[in-house]
A and B are shown apart, each in its own frame.
Chain A
Amino acid sequence: MDAIFLQVLNGLDKGGAYALIALGLTLVFGTLGVVNFAHGALFMLGAFCAVALERMLSVSYERINPDKQDFLGNPLKEQISYLVDWLGADTAAFLQDYSVPLSILFAAIFMAIVGIVMERGLIKHFYKRPHADQILVTFGLAIVVQELVRHYFGANPIPQAAPDIVSGAANVGAWVGLGDNVIYPWWRLVYFLFSAAIIFGVFAFLQFTTFGMVVRAGMQDRETVGLLGINIEQKFTVVFGLAAVVAGVAGAMYTPVLPPDYHMGMDFLVLSFVVVVVGGMGSLGGAVLAGFLLGILQSFASMQAVQELIPGISQIIIYLVAVIVLLTLPRGLMGRKGVMED
């Protein structure tokens, strides 16, 4: 029972990440009709926003300490943080401790700019081109972005610490009446709640605002909305920016779970596409449902008892489920009629 409960928790936090990426992917596809293979790179860029902010908060100057030596035996060049000089040690330590949560703000602004520039500068030229062209250009863009990140940040993962207050593990077993072995990292619980909040926020934005109503109408019938005198292209640019922000903040918050490296976007992209397809192309609810469903199934498939029964199942479970769903429900779990059915 303990093991099953823990795997459900694993699936929920993993599914949270899948759902957030898939949400952006399907939002872009549903509105702009673009298959964006660079979406994983946006998740990765968001993660590196957390790394960049942490480094900005640690910008320092050198001071030679004649009493200490470096690895070559020369007087040690100590790094003194500007932040400590300007704000004092306590404030600097507080800001550095909370660099990951603070990076949400930084990632949101940065990713909005990246998203809008990307859409206006590149993606809009491919709206009327075949999906194959869109895939090629966005995949190429993803490779360029990841190689740029590798150039500046290196290939090794860069660990990011969660704030001290949530860095340990919670005794979840005691909360739900299970054993002491049911412990779970606080930050993963925070991430799950964060992803649920973001998903709720995006749905609320689309459901309860005029802007959202126009976007939903555009998803149903772009031409008619345009004929009503609404500048739908402008709205869709904002939607692309919103999708980039969702992917970015999801990446930034994921850094204490998975130390970011330049390739993490590609690792998530393929799985997220499967999530979108299983959920139903263009269906926001489907993307979220499929994200959590596949996250949980993937966790269960990794259990030793399951592995012993069907070796290697954890590697293929997601694709297996995708095949079964598409055979029985060709439009996915919540797919709409007419989407990608030329």
Chain B
Amino acid sequence: MSERKDITRRRVIKSGAAAAAAAGATPYFYTRAFADGHGYMNAPKGDSVTFGFNVPQTGAYADEGADELRAYEMAVEHINAGGGGMLDTFSSKELKGGVNGKTVKFVTGDTQTKSDAARASAKRMIENDGAIMITGGSSSGVAIAVQGLCQEAGVIFMAGLTHSNDTTGKDKRANGFRHFFNTEMTGAALGPVLNNNYGKDRKVYHLTADYTWGYSQEGSMIKYTQPYGWETVAAVKTPVGAGDFSQFITPVLSSGADTLILNHYGKDMVNSLTQAVQFGLRDKQVNGKDFTIVVPLYSRLMAQGAGENVKGIFGSTNWHWSLQDDGSKAFVKAFGTKYGFPPSQAAHTTYCQALLYADACQRAGTFKPSEVGAALEGFKFDGLGNGPTEYRADDHQCFKDVLVVKGKENPSSKFDVLEVVEVTPRAKVEYAASLLGGELGPYNNG
């Protein structure tokens, strides 16, 4: 009787539920690495190693993703050939053809600029294609999501275009590294330039994209303009992909603000800037001052989208093709010859990330994440277009000069839409790692 009681239907259901809960609680990834005895996830077995390029191939950032993919493909060519492009100007001379004696191959995934899709494609590349490293992305939300997944999986994540402080701040992970700059650096570089050009004591209206990057950008701009007496009149969150921003722009007209800061990127930036100009904001005078619009984060691809509306408007960028250092010239020449147009900042940062990862593996003599990470931590380099740069060990954030740019008044071609007005030295944009919070935690080797 008691035995019979032990196997009641209710008990079976309970046991099943407990088993399912236990399965759900186990780590996301099956730790295949140690089962195979290699000591780390997806250790390459043959004469090749696979990189995973996770970029937006569809959706609003598809053009940016396409440029990233072009840069990655060129980086792989240069790594395998042991030369070409910025590999020739890179201060580290370790890469002589392939990495650790292996030819680099790659697989690609489509993030669709959606966190769940990006995680799914990264997971597929790690589990099915054996990718040793994941890199790419054109959104901070996506980067943070994929960075978390790579930490769980035990592979290195080399972030692409992600500008939120959180990526190497409160959401930083040991397995994640970012070459691109962040909103803190944008604020530090842009604040003094805005003060010099527009003067003290302005009244500012913020329109801010309603997600992690928008909040980060708005916070940094307020922080670095307040010391000059720039007072925030209103900070309004706008839905991502709103399309028509007229209902958010009209209140600016009667707000008493003389400055509009558009914390928007991509399609939202193109639309909000275009519409702000259509509403005559640039022609207005408020508080005895010319009305001013600021776009803190610029991209050449987006600036092309906004057309003539970007003229005279200040912002910042990680890199620009018109730079005249040897690295930038070599990169523009290699990219321009191969594809027929200059590379974007997204292409630049992703190319750098591929080279930096390959070089770190070569210097470490292994692809093991903890040792590759150690090789990247504190690594100082030059020749990649941004001047002397350091991968800070404390937060895995690259520190380098920041470019303040302005929409060009008289462009000579459709690519020539931005001009560099100031190169803000690294020392002026550097901050303590503890400022942005978060913990790197330990490396995960899978």
Contact = CB atoms under 8 A, between A and B. Distances in A.
Given A71-B336, A169-B279, A169-B280, A3 B301 contact: no
Interface string A143-154: 000010010001
A154 B63 contact: yes
Contact of A304 (B236, B304, B305, B333): B236
A179 B284 CA distance: 14
A6 B251 CA distance: 8
A109 interface: no
Interface of A: 2-3, 6-7, 9-10, 13-14, 68, 70-72, 147, 150, 154-159, 161, 167-169, 179, 181-185, 187-188, 256-259, 261, 263-264, 267, 298-299, 302-304, 307, 314-315
Nearest to B256: A181
A307 B236 CA distance: 9
A159 B306 contact: yes
Contacts of B250: 3, 6-7, 9-10
Contact of B307 (A10, A72, A159): A159
B376 to A, nearest CB: 32
B274 A267 contact: no
Given A156-B267, A182-B253, A188 B246 contact: yes
Nearest to B414: A79
Nearest to A70: B413
Most buried by B among A154, A157, A185: A157
A156 B304 contact: yes
Interface of B: 58-63, 234, 236, 239, 241, 243-244, 246-248, 250-251, 253-254, 267, 270-271, 274-275, 278-280, 283, 301-302, 304-309, 321-322, 332-333, 336-337, 341-342, 412-413, 415-416
B247 A299 contact: yes
A6 B255 CA distance: 13
Most buried by A among B61, B236, B250, B274: B250
Given A3-B254, A155-B59, A156-B301, A72 B239 contact: no
A161 B307 CA distance: 9
A259 B58 CA distance: 18
Given A259-B305, A302-B247, A159 B254 contact: no
Contacts of B322: 71
A10 B251 contact: no
Contacts of B278: 167, 169, 185, 187-188, 256-257
B254 A302 contact: no
Given A155-B60, A267-B243, 8 more contacts: A3-B254, A14-B247, A71-B321, A159-B309, A169-B283, A181-B253, A257-B244, A257-B278
Contacts of A264: 243
Most buried by B among A14, A159, A256, A314: A159
Contacts of B243: 258, 264, 267
B104 to A, nearest CB: 27
Contacts of B58: 147, 150, 155
A303 B251 contact: yes
Contacts of A259: 270-271, 274, 305-306
A156 B59 contact: no
A184 B279 contact: yes
Contacts of B244: 14, 257-258
